[in-house]
Amino acid sequence: MDEDSILLKKEGNIATITLNRPKKLNALDWPAQVLFGEKLDEVAKDSEIRVLIITGAGRAFCAGGDVSAQRDRMGMSIAERRAGLKTVLKNPLKLRRLSIPVIAMVNGVAVGAGCNLALACDIIIASESARFGQAFVKVGLIQDYGGSYLLSRLVGTKKACELVFTGDMIDAKEALRIGMVNKVVPPDDLDRATKDMARKIASRAPLAVSIAKRFIYDAFEKFDLETTLEYEIYTQGFCCDTEDHKEGTAAFLEKREPRFKGM
């Protein structure tokens, strides 16, 4: 395993995971996928981290799975392939279960599993040079990395079918128009815009942000309105008794910036 294929860097309370296979457009083989999952586990255990950024080295975000490496697995049995996929395809679930917000900083092509990796993040900020695509059918595969679930919830089933069935690429402007990304910025502004967003989120009450993330997805995917309201009543009561709420209220009244501790 190339330990440098996935890099984790921490700056204050913001962490960045960089997919670091630029010569392969950051296409991920199975060892890199396993290492990516291990880096997510590290982030999950670090209580100081409040926001995670995921990006790619060089001119691509992630070109999906490493097709050249797939050739080496042609002799594997179906059972062996499924066992391997079961390990690496847990990563989208790890992203969703992280208690902190995750921002995809998409600096270039995001195709196949690379596109769905971005979709698994909570926020996507893309360069104007970014391109997105579900290219699985072009190599005789179906969408994975959670794409069947994530894409249709963002763009609707009709648009998802079009993108999946054709394998066509779309540019960042079109991705913004159909609701796949949050923001599109010039390439030279991507790093600044992403880190500005990360710093803003990191400055908010971390416990409240963590609960809010969970509720947004639970309310959308599991709950009806009545259940959502009951959970909000229960959890808001808890939040009202936290030190962060007391600090936030005091800071507002005193006209100063709050100093949240996640308590």
What are the angstrom distances between the C-alpha of 27 and each of 6, 54, 106, 159, 209? Answer: 11, 14, 14, 25, 32
Instruction: Give the residue carrying structure tokens 């990563």.
Output: 91
194 in Cβ contact with 11 (< 8 Å): no
Pairing outcome for strands 60-62 and 6-11: unpaired
pLDDT digits 0-9 by tens, 19-76 = 999 999 999 998 999 999 999 999 999 999 999 999 999 999 999 987 666 666 666 6
| Domains of the chain, each with CATH number or no CATH | 6-202 (3.90.226.10), 206-254 (1.10.12)
Strands (DSSP E) contained in the chain are 6-11, 14-19, 51-56, 60-62, 102-106, 109-111, 123-127, 131-133, 169-171, 183-185
Q: Is 91 helix (H, G, I), strand (E, B) or coil?
A: helix
pLDDT digits 0-9 by tens, 111-169 = 999 999 999 999 999 999 999 999 999 988 889 889 999 999 999 999 999 999 999 99
This prediction has a pTM of: 0.92
Instruction: Give the residue carrying structure tokens 């391109």.
Output: 131
